[in-house]
Structure 1
Amino acid sequence: MEICAGAGGQALGLEKAGFEHKLAIELDENAAGTLQHNRPQWDVRIGDVASSVVWNPADFEGVGLLAGGVPCPPFSIAGRQLGASDERDLFAWAVEQVAVVKPRALLLENVRGLSQPRFAAYRQRVLDRLADLGYEAFWKLLHSSDFGVPQLRPRFVLVALKPDDARFFAWPEGSDSTRTVGSALGNLMAANGWPHTGDWVKMANAIGPTIVGGSKKHGGADLGPTRAKEAWLKLGVDGKGIVEDPPSAFAPHPSVKAPRLTIDMVKRIQGWEEIDDWRFLGRKTSQYRQIGNAFPPPVAAAVGRSIVAAFNRELAADGTERASGAVSADPLFSLLSASDGGGVRESEIFAAIPEITEKSLGGRLERLSMDFAIHEAVVDGEAVYHLGEFRGFTGQTEHFRHDYILANRSRVS
């Protein structure tokens, strides 16, 4: 079963890996419509995945895989990186569903930002919670270009399995051959008889920047911010918009006027192939957003096959080594977590973590306080710090996320 399923990038990849969908849940109506159109046999539900009106997690206890691509903005380097303080954060909530669904495996993917030091404590809480629930977790930054996708698109992927399966898990190996934008799109660019396709393919002989889907609030049908557009232009692509049709037989040479991409071309760059016959519903901007926010099917398929291989105890058949368990360390979080309830004195922090100074302590505490409440007291004239509750949404009936969703339902994506 899949939460925050989007328009089906992860779903299609997992299907190719051998999984059958019992349920797919998506908030955006156009994306859910795309899922229903392409897989009418699936149970697709539209709405807030955290709403009991939409589904009851207990009804799906024991599924083989709980998967999802939960919202990225809380961790995005391009955003404010509010983490647990962001109303859109569903990562911790998704992990919490493991306690009810009890899947054989968990798969969650997100942006590279989640792998940064800013979120070391957040990641440690995820690992600790999964360990409490009896799962061993694995985390790795995967680059989509290693799996035949002609763009960078790094994704931070979490896989968690029960111990009997975990000892057989190995991350998928990427391909030695790199697929370029030109080699992927050449036949699509030539579809209307453009005579300069060959020259364009040579110009586009590299991996493209990450496709940016944007959100309902920010981002339209173009190829991202200024820096991304500049990178696309070096590949002979005008990134200022998406067009309906490929260049005509009378279109100028790409050195004179670079062509723009069509929706079919963006699909190809995101990993959908013609054989997939996957149609996106909605207007052009919505279609582009659905594609741009997707987990590339080839990457999802590769990770899915690794999970299936673990289920089937196939490790070491080709000499592959099992993956190492995930590790995340924020020494300040660890120190505060280990406190016996009396808190940690400022002097104890400096003694235990030499890299933290009087000058840097405030910033470290402020960063940690985005995800956890930090309580400060003064004892014998010295500051004492206590680690409080996790700020993230894990299903609480009283949480600031509920008011946000209620007020912004039509704009959330």
Structure 2
Amino acid sequence: MTTGADQGIGGYSVVEICAGAGGQALGLEQAGFEHRLAVELDQNAAATLSLNRPNWDVRVGDVANAEVWDPSEFEGVDLLAGGVPCPPFSIAGRQLGASDERDLFAWAVEQVAIVKPRALMLENVRGLSQPRFAAYRQRVLDRLAELGYEAFWKLIYAADFGVPQLRPRFVLVALKTEDARFFAWPESVESSSTVGSALNDLMGADGWPHINSWVTMADAVGPTIVGGSKKHGGADLGPTRAKEAWLKLGVDGKGVADAPPSAFSPHPSVKPPRLTIEMVKRIQGWGASDSWQFSGRKTSQYRQIGNAFPPPVAAAVGRSIRNAFNHEVIAAGVESAATAVSADPLFSLLSSSCGGVRESDIYAAIPDLTERILGKRLQRLSLDFAIHESVIDGETSYRLGEFRGFTGQSEHFRHDYITANRSKVS
């Protein structure tokens, strides 16, 4: 089933993991993809998917649990897509990467070996693009290359696609070699959409006499909507800094309202209004014509919306993938996407040696390192990979060991965490 601007152009299939409440799903559908399966851990988000697309196969549970779905049953699907958990890479968190029990990025990449999709699309937070995760990203690229895929990374801002908030997301697209040369990242669109212009009709729906003044106050792109998790975050617009940014736009970010301001509500300079769920949907990229309903109570609905991948961004990336499948010639003036690279000299040096690398050889190969910086780099690297130390002729030698991340191992610390915290994981 397809909807939106591209209605009737379907034909490519998608399996979506960690599907959430449908932001990416709706966007991919609008780009011409038809869902064969959607898997989601949160019951309310899964209920939202089934509510809006009752004919879809929606599975509820841990995506890495073989009892929920068998990836081998979907071998040959055109696209494997998903928005795997963000906390392992979030700047607001501890950035534990592969040492975080919630990390599923490497596992998702590993499913490519089983599903053998024509393309892979994964989105995550901006933190994954930072130097901290250069080695992690390199492992992802190396594994995809082993499987015959060419990978592309890009930090994409939702505001560049008509969504009235910044919302940077780090997106990975990997395609088989025969399609990769036809891939170009979607170009940004010219848009005058601001918080005020996007919410004008909703904020003034109950006859608020100060709507025009508020639209003028809110004449800018908003900060990123923060959905939070079951463990942290409720129905408000995020941490203190985000609330301060919203207040500058004439929005009280301390909660979510049940209704827009009434005809008797004061001027926004006296009492700024709060956003309603419908308004948050609009800020997240669901348009007025997208009849998408959300299951659950207000806090759950807000969390589902706030954690979603904006549909217009998913649609834009999906169309670029579809164009690559169709081997469409890249338009004049548009550059094909550059193959992803991830430079971590220390990781490259250690991974190229089976027997270990002496400290003196490390300093010779990477002259800008000092003893203190080397210690920090090794500590950072040890969060994602085991680092084995030995002393040879009085000099310390380092050897890169196994990857710490979850890729499907039956014996992994992730399983105990999921079992013990099933009701808190989101």
Counterpart position of 1:355:
368
State the 1:248 CA deviation: 0.1
- Paired residue for 2:315, among 295, 301, 304? 301
Is the CA contact (8 Å cut-off) linking 1:171 and 1:306 kept in structure 2? Answer: yes
Is the CA contact (8 Å cut-off) linking 2:162 and 2:190 kept in structure 1? Answer: no
Indicate whether 1:263 and 2:293 are aligned.
no
Map 1:211-250 → 2, pairs under 5 A: 211-250=225-264
Counterpart position of 1:75:
89
State the 1:294 CA deviation: 0.3
- Paired residue for 1:387, among 393, 400, 415? 400
Counterpart position of 2:8:
none
State the 1:233 CA deviation: 0.2
SS of equivalent to 2:154: strand
SS of equivalent to 2:363: helix
Counterpart position of 1:99:
113
Map 1:153-302 → 2, pairs under 5 A: 153-302=167-316
Taking the aligned partners of 2:290 and 2:36, their CA distance within structure 1 comes to: 20
SS of equivalent to 1:21: strand
State the 1:314 CA deviation: 1.2
State the 1:73 CA deviation: 0.2
Q: Check 1:380–1:178 CA distance in 2 against 1; reply closer, same or farther (3 A cut).
A: farther
Counterpart position of 1:408:
421
Taking the aligned partners of 1:34 and 1:137, their CA distance within structure 2 comes to: 32
Question: Could you tell me which amino acid in structure 2 is paired with residue 12 of structure 1?
Answer: L
Question: Could you tell me which amino acid in structure 2 is paired with residue 94 of structure 1?
Answer: A
Question: Could you tell me which amino acid in structure 2 is paired with residue 171 of structure 1?
Answer: W
Is the CA contact (8 Å cut-off) linking 1:180 and 1:206 kept in structure 2? Answer: yes
SS of equivalent to 2:391: strand
Is the CA contact (8 Å cut-off) linking 1:170 and 1:315 kept in structure 2? Answer: no
1:95-133, Cα deviation, whole Å (9 max, x unpaired): 000000000000000000000000000000000000000
Is the CA contact (8 Å cut-off) linking 2:184 and 2:330 kept in structure 1? Answer: no
State the 1:59 CA deviation: 0.2
SS of equivalent to 2:143: helix
Counterpart position of 1:42:
56
Is the CA contact (8 Å cut-off) linking 1:136 and 1:162 kept in structure 2? Answer: yes
SS of equivalent to 1:275: coil
Question: Could you tell me which amino acid in structure 2 is paired with residue 115 of structure 1?
Answer: S
Taking the aligned partners of 1:62 and 1:178, their CA distance within structure 2 comes to: 41
Map 1:368-379 → 2, pairs under 5 A: 368-379=381-392
Counterpart position of 1:61:
75
Is the CA contact (8 Å cut-off) linking 1:169 and 1:315 kept in structure 2? Answer: no
Question: Could you tell me which amino acid in structure 1 is paired with residue 397 of structure 2?
Answer: V
Taking the aligned partners of 1:314 and 1:381, their CA distance within structure 2 comes to: 60
Taking the aligned partners of 2:160 and 2:206, their CA distance within structure 1 comes to: 31
Is the CA contact (8 Å cut-off) linking 2:98 and 2:405 kept in structure 1? Answer: yes
1:265-306, Cα deviation, whole Å (9 max, x unpaired): 000000001211000010100000000000000000000000
Counterpart position of 1:90:
104
Deviates more, 1:244-253 or 1:311-320: 311-320
Counterpart position of 1:118:
132
Taking the aligned partners of 2:355 and 2:199, their CA distance within structure 1 comes to: 62
SS of equivalent to 1:373: strand
Is the CA contact (8 Å cut-off) linking 1:139 and 1:326 kept in structure 2? Answer: yes
**What count of residue pairs does the alignment treat as equivalent?**
412
Taking the aligned partners of 2:341 and 2:272, their CA distance within structure 1 comes to: 45
Taking the aligned partners of 2:187 and 2:104, their CA distance within structure 1 comes to: 29
TM-score scaled by length of structure 1: 0.99
Percent identical: 80
Taking the aligned partners of 2:282 and 2:367, their CA distance within structure 1 comes to: 50
Taking the aligned partners of 2:333 and 2:79, their CA distance within structure 1 comes to: 26
Is the CA contact (8 Å cut-off) linking 2:17 and 2:83 kept in structure 1? Answer: yes
Question: Could you tell me which amino acid in structure 1 is paired with residue 152 of structure 2?
Answer: F
SS of equivalent to 1:72: coil
Taking the aligned partners of 2:192 and 2:153, their CA distance within structure 1 comes to: 24
Runs of 4+ in 1 over 3 A off after TM superposition: none
Question: Could you tell me which amino acid in structure 2 is paired with residue 387 of structure 1?
Answer: L
State the 1:158 CA deviation: 0.1
What RMSD, in angstroms, separates the aligned Cα atoms of the two structures?
0.6
Question: Could you tell me which amino acid in structure 2 is paired with residue 385 of structure 1?
Answer: Y
State the 1:321 CA deviation: 1.9
State the 1:342 CA deviation: 1.5
Indicate whether 1:23 and 2:37 are aligned.
yes
Question: Could you tell me which amino acid in structure 1 is paired with residue 370 of structure 2?
Answer: T
For structure 1, the 5+ residue unaligned runs are: none
SS of equivalent to 1:300: helix
State the 1:176 CA deviation: 2.5
SS of equivalent to 1:332: helix
State the 1:171 CA deviation: 0.1
SS of equivalent to 1:37: helix
State the 1:319 CA deviation: 3.8
SS of equivalent to 1:243: coil
Question: Could you tell me which amino acid in structure 2 is paired with residue 44 of structure 1?
Answer: V
Taking the aligned partners of 2:114 and 2:372, their CA distance within structure 1 comes to: 44
TM-score scaled by length of structure 2: 0.96
Is the CA contact (8 Å cut-off) linking 2:124 and 2:169 kept in structure 1? Answer: yes
